[in-house]
Structure 1
Amino acid sequence: MSESASGDDRLRVAVFRPNDDRLAEARALLDELGVDPVSDPMLAVEPTDATPRGADYVVFTSKTGAELVAAAGWTPGAATVVAIGPKTAAALEAAGYAVDLLPDDYSSSGLVDLLADRAAGASVEVARSDHGSAVLLDGLREAGADVRETVLYRLVRPEGAGNSTTLAAEGRLDAACFTSSLTVEHFRDAAAERGVREAAIAGLNDAVVGVIGEPTRETAESHGITVDVVPAEATFEALARETVARLRTVDDASR
């Protein structure tokens, strides 16, 4: 296991959250867990200035989307407002929106399960990023809903992202927490631009890799990355805690 860039012997864990309060919260959590956070924002938000159209149900899949529609002054009218999870719900409620429905499983599949018996013949507006999973749209259509999608923002790779790929290639990264398929793809692209793609993936495979859900696992494995942790709950806190716990087990076994 590595010696951290800060000069102590804490284990290094890469985190790829957007460079806003989510990254600060992720860093604070990893620090609390006793590891050295490697901040490498792999996502930046480009708003489209679009807002959801009228529908029977309006589904939000991120805190970012909630904040953008609030800033635009969107009003839900008579729509039933649905949030994918507690962070999204909290952002909607902080902006003054009432959240009517929340799935038990905080994922696209969980939203389909939640709405499948409600949405037949209803109009459903899905308000999200340009990289949303097809699982949600396809599942709702199969349930008989009239589904429309509004892209509230685009997710791009920030200029300069990729310091974690160099650490991975050099064998100096102990774990990584991927929060979406896109963070995996942007890691791969950043490594390729640095000429270390194969070495970076090999470095990940010598480390502990945590992913937030099954779609992200599928993406990682399609790029040759071995996944060690998929948390029971699709939240960053669960991902971080379970990844660090696995890392501690591996580290203890190697001593």
Structure 2
Amino acid sequence: MTSEVRAAVFRPDDERIADAVDLLESLGATPVPDPMLAVEPTGATPAPADWTVLTSKTGVELAAEAGWTPTDTRLACIGPATADAARAEGWAVDVVPEEYSSAGLVDALTAAVATDESVGVARSDHGSAVLLDGLREAGIETTETVLYRLVRPVDAGESTARAAAGELEAALFTSSLTVEHFLDAAAERGVRAAAVEGLADAVVGCIGEPTAATARDHGITVDVVPDEATFEALATAVVERAAPSHHGE
């Protein structure tokens, strides 16, 4: 068996894929970067509300670029990366949930938002229904603004051929959409079944349970879901699992 850990990573083709490559290399893996997401801004800004929820670093950056600032609203961010991006813009962050997920945000906001206050969620067009449904079920007036769309880059899919050929030891999915776009790209190349079969011989990691559920629903065996929903935790856990020492070598 090769001692190389070839790890496919699907983050957007910006600093996130570059950072992912650097991290994987620092862990001793050989990155196979294959961005499965491209950002298409809508030009919208967060709607007026007592609370504004931002669920990604991209959302923060697009809102700031459009000239929006949280002057008349309190700010909640889904996790530390989003919160750090907001603070880098000079914005005060009022809530970051202990669990970095839509469900975690629902719990945190249910405790923080007053009964007469409204919440505006500003995010991509593929946001989880868990957040909106959970807030509304808690009796909180909630609206949504789509700041950007997430589409599959036209040239995505090199990793699907590598998976089909058994040339991956690991794959790191960071959202349900990366799973779906990977499978769509594989289907376009006529290798969907072979790619899924190839992933069965690799260590497949998903950043959280919703992503893992999507992968399993499509027949992909999931080996790793880190306790912390960050890319660093995902990459570290996957590479440790895929390393030869963890296969008895």
TM-score normalised by length of structure 2:
0.97
Partner of 2:79: 85
Give unpaired runs (5+ residues) of structure 2: none
Q: 2:111, 2:54 → 1: CA distance?
A: 19
Task: Say if 2:5 and 2:239, in contact at 8 Å, map to a contact too.
Answer: no
Partner of 1:232: 227
Matched AA of 1:104: E
SS of the residue aligned with 2:243?
A: helix
What secondary structure sits across from 1:173 in the alignment? coil
Deviations 1:151-201 (A, max 9, x none): 000000001100000000000100000000000000000000000000000
- Deviation, 1:140, is 0.6
User: For residues 9-59 of structure 1, what are the alpha-carbon distances to aligned partners after superposition, in whole Å with 9 as ceiling and x for unaligned?
Assistant: 521000001011111110000000001000000000000000011111100
| Match among 93, 100, 108 for residue 99 of structure 1 | 93
SS state at 1:68 partner:
helix
- Residue 140 of structure 2 is aligned to residue 149 of structure 1: no
* Matches of 2:166 and 2:144, distance apart in 1: 42
Deviation at 1:96, TM superposition (A): 1.6
For 2:60, the equivalent position in structure 1 comes to 66
Q: Which runs of 5+ in 1 are unaligned?
A: 3-8
Kept in 1: contact 2:204–2:221 (CA 8 A): yes
CA distance in 2, matches of 1:180, 1:162: 16
SS of equivalent to 1:117: helix
Q: Is the 8 A contact 1:59 1:126 kept in 2?
A: yes
CA distance in 1, matches of 2:69, 2:28: 43
- Name the Cα RMSD after superposition: 1.2
Which one of the candidate residues 192, 207, 215 is aligned to 1:212?
Answer: 207
How many corresponding residue pairs?
Answer: 248
Could you tell me the percent identity over the aligned residues?
65
1:171 maps to which residue? 166
Post-superposition offset of 1:125: 0.3
Which residue in the other structure is 2:191 paired with?
A: 196
Distance 2:109 2:157 in 1: 38
The one of 154, 158, 162 equivalent to 2:153 is 158
Bigger CA drift: 188-197 or 118-127? 118-127
Write out the 4+ residue segments of structure 1 that deviate beyond 4 Å after TM superposition. none
| TM-aligned CA distance change 1:201 to 1:126, over 3 Å | same
SS state at 2:112 partner: coil
Matched residue SS, 1:189 = helix
One-letter identity of the residue aligned with 1:14: A
